[in-house]
Structure formats: structure tokens, C-alpha cells
Amino acid sequence: MLRHRLITAAILIPFFIWVTLALPSRYFAVITAVIVALGAWEWTGLAGLNRKWRYTGVFVTIVMMGVMAVYVIETKALYALLGIVVIWWVAGLSWVVSYNRKPATSPCAAGAATLAGGENRLGRAVVGLLVLVPAWTALVALHESGVYGPNFVLFLFVLIGMADSGAYFAGRWWGKAKLMPNVSPGKTWSGVAGGLWTALLVSVTGGVVLGLSWEETRQFTIVGLVTTAFSIVGDLLESMYKRQAGVKDSGALLPGHGGVLDRIDSITAAAPLFLAGLLLAGIPN
């Protein structure tokens, strides 16, 4: 399993660096749209849709990305979208917390799941749209945001990847208190702390490498920490739906890693929050 995981990572990491830094934004948008479409296929499976409706869900996801590309990414509507998405992820956090308070079979957890579309297949599919499409929109908008754009996208991937690794090792070495055992039994509060400390170091380093001023680096670090915190919410939300579906992984497309959603769940929440934070901070000036 570890060998497969390392081989897959050795292929994917150079590929994403090349896609992010070497390709024009329109090609970056197409390739990431394919990845999101694969994620939509897996999400519709978690939602319990049959094959015909799963294809419909993927088609709707692609259409919505097209709408975002034409009417949102390069317009002021992007700001409204990001505001809505921030509220959505705060609500997502509240659903995950409510679900964790009691076992999944309890009325409290069932009520929280219903609120998030958990007891309704169509509702679950709609949640998938809210998770995937804004994340793609944010990534493409960030990539198109000027000469810094591709570097910021790459930094985001590095930030989330390094924070995830920091959380893993901190949780393995010191983790005892579980974060949300009814949602994701493997996550601990020590892991959260390790991930945030790693994000702090990565963000400060990133600000220096990107040539930001001291004040910009300070704001950049705050954005990085908030982004990392919400990346955990993205991970937990997908874990909640996997537990409801009774599966360990969202798919088996990536050997050693599970499905596409298992790799991008953190990015789904992180990307919109990161872009919103940069815009609020005015980085770069």
C-alpha cells in the first residue's frame, strides 16, 4: 500500500507542478475541470445515485463550471460567490460538529445529516456541486490573477500538502484526544495543532520566497492559517458523507490514495477561502 502511495505521488506531484506553472490558464482550467468531473462522479456515488443520474450529475457539474467561466471568474460576481462560499463552509463546519456529537444513528446526527442533504440523494448531490464547483472557480480565478497567479496556486497545493503531512506525523506521535471520532476516527487535536504549526512555517517561508513585504507576509500567514483550518473542514465534510455511505474511500482511481475526492477534499474548502483571503488582504498590492 505504501509503495503504491509513493509511486502515485511521484507521478502526480510533477504533473501538477507542470500543469500549474507551465500551462496557460485556459489549459489549467480544462485539466482541473476534468479532475473535478471525476470528483463529481465519485460524489454522486456517495450520494447513492444510480448510474444514469450519476452521469447527469457529472454533466450538471461541467455545465456549472462553464457558467462560472463565462459569467463569474473575470467579473465582480466572483466576490459575491466567494462571500456565499465562505458562509457555506461555516455552515458545513456546523453540520460536521452536529453530526459528531452523537452516533450516526441518533436523531441528532440524522437531523444534521438531513440539513446537509444527507437523507436525500438529490440533496447530497447538490452539496457536491456546492463543494466542487466553487473550488474549481477559485483555483482558475487565482491562476488567472496575474504573474503571481500560478505561484499562488502552487503555494496553495504545497501549503495543504505540507499541513496534511504535519498533521499526520503530529497525530501519530502525540495524538490521543480525538478531534471528531464519529466523523473521522483517525484525526486528533494534536494533528490539528501540528498541521497549523506546519502551515505557519510554510506561509512565512512562502511569503519570503514570493518576495512579499513584511506586512504582506504577515497577512499572507494569517490567510494561510485560516485556509489550513478550513481545509480540515473540507476533509471532515467528505468523511461525514463517506461514513453515511458506509465506505472508506470515495473511489479507487488513485492506487494507495483512494479516489479523486480523497485527494482534493481539503482543497475544496481551502481554495475559495485562500482566494477570498488574498483579495481581502490586497495581496499582491
Question: What residues does each domain of the chain span?
Answer: 2-281
Distance between CA atoms of 117 and 114, rounded to whole angstroms? 5
Task: Please determine, for residue 246, whether its predicted confidence score (pLDDT) is greater than 90.
Answer: no
Give the tens place of pLDDT for each residue, 60-95: 999 999 999 999 998 899 999 999 999 999 999 998
3 state SS for the chain: CHHHHHHHHHHHHHHHHHHHHHCCHHHHHHHHHHHHHHHHHHHHHHCCCCHHHHHHHHHHHHHHHHHHHHHCCCCCHHHHHHHHHHHHHHHHHHHHHHHHHCCCCCHHHHHHHHHCCCCCHHHHHHHHHHHHHHHHHHHHHHHCCCCCHHHHHHHHHHHHHHHHHHHHHHHHHHCCCEEECCCEEEEEHHHHHHHHHHHHHHHHHHHHHCCCCHHHHHHHHHHHHHHHHHHHHHHHHHHHHHHHHCCCCCCCCECCCECHHHHHHHHHHHHHHHHHHHHHHCCCC
Q: What's the whole-number average pLDDT of the chain?
A: 88
Task: Please determine, for residue 249, whether its predicted confidence score (pLDDT) is greater than 90.
Answer: no
Contact 25, 143 (CB under 8 A): yes
Residues constituting the chain? 285
pTM: 0.92
Residue 28's pLDDT is what?
97
Q: Which amino acid is at 82?
A: L
Give the tens place of pLDDT for each residue, 8-29: 778 888 999 999 999 999 999 9
Distance between CA atoms of 239 and 234, rounded to whole angstroms? 9
